[in-house]
A and B are shown apart, each in its own frame.
Chain A
Amino acid sequence: MARIKIIEQVTRANDQIAAQNRQWLDEQKVVAVNLMASPGAGKTSVVMRTIEALRGRARIGAIEGDTASQVDAERVATTGVPVVQINTGGGCRLDANMVRPALEQLPLDEIDLLLIENVGNLVCPAGLALGEHVNVVIASIPEGDDKPYKYPGMFLVVDAVVINKIDLLPYLDFDVPAFRELVAGLNPKARIFEVSCKTGEGIGEWTEWLAGMCPRK
């Protein structure tokens, strides 16, 4: 009987592939954003609004992650941007090894900003590196203002929080100041954007922030 000391991160293999993805994106001067949210928060709508708002300013590419179907990729493809769908086959999150072949299918030299839409889930995708530069969670008004309490693992690791569907604020009991205070307490560096993909309100501030991160090619 002998004990062997190991101390090896369970996600080490993923993290190594993520670092390779990141290096490849850096070489191609692509800024990648990992968009996470619960199902129905409006990830694809944010992607659509972002493409529209940055048209002519940043060349966008997209990776759409879902357990099944091509519907999101088909929707994004109508905008004319290059898009690849990843189906995880029931898997609850994207990982770096799934993103790699998707990167190979995209014309990275013609892309400034890559939007990676993760699988709808506030638990599993949190903190698993894909090779992205920026992590964003989208929260929406109908979900309620208590999500940072319930999913701290997610809200702790993001660079920005997008509050979507603010056009519904008059009809629902979502306390925006309380939500902001909670996010600031967990993660004071996180930027918070209030948007409505329905009306377009607030989209400009969000997309300016994204555009500010894209290097000129």
Chain B
Amino acid sequence: MHELAITKEILRIAVKHAERAGAERMTDINITIGDLSSAVDDSVQFYFDFLSPGTIAEGARLHFRRVAARLRCRECGTEFEPLGVDWRCPHCRSQGGEVIAGREFYIESIEVE
């Protein structure tokens, strides 16, 4: 449900950078999002298509690069991706670990003409 607010921010940030670069049109926006960050890709594109007409980003496609959650075991240092409800280290079976990836949420780049 917060995708509308997120999409407004994505549009605002992308347009700001495109205008600063003197671009006439934006064709693509590349977004990096970790699986531990909450946003639904299709929903963001839906709102974007609704919000972007009349801006230089009109018609731009959003591309989401998903980053899987990745943990580092606090006991043995093994790095692993948790699978569903299994958050145990595959090596020593201790529970959970320090999050080293999966919480990203940023605009990586834009393509302009």
Contact = CB atoms under 8 A, between A and B. Distances in A.
A92 interface: yes
B18 A4 contact: yes
A10 B10 contact: yes
Contact of A9 (B82, B97, B106, B109): B106
Given A4-B110, A152-B69, A184 B5 contact: no
B96 interface: yes
Interface residues of B, number: 40
B64 to A, nearest CB: 12
A188 interface: yes
Contacts, number: 104
A10 B96 contact: no
Interface in A14-40: 14
A17 B105 CA distance: 18
For the residues of A in contact with B, the DSSP-based class is mixed
Contacts of A146: 85
Contacts of B85: 146, 149-150
A95 B5 contact: yes
Contact of B94 (A5, A93, A126, A185): A185
Interface of A: 1-14, 90-93, 95, 123-124, 126-127, 146, 149-150, 152-153, 156, 181-182, 184-188
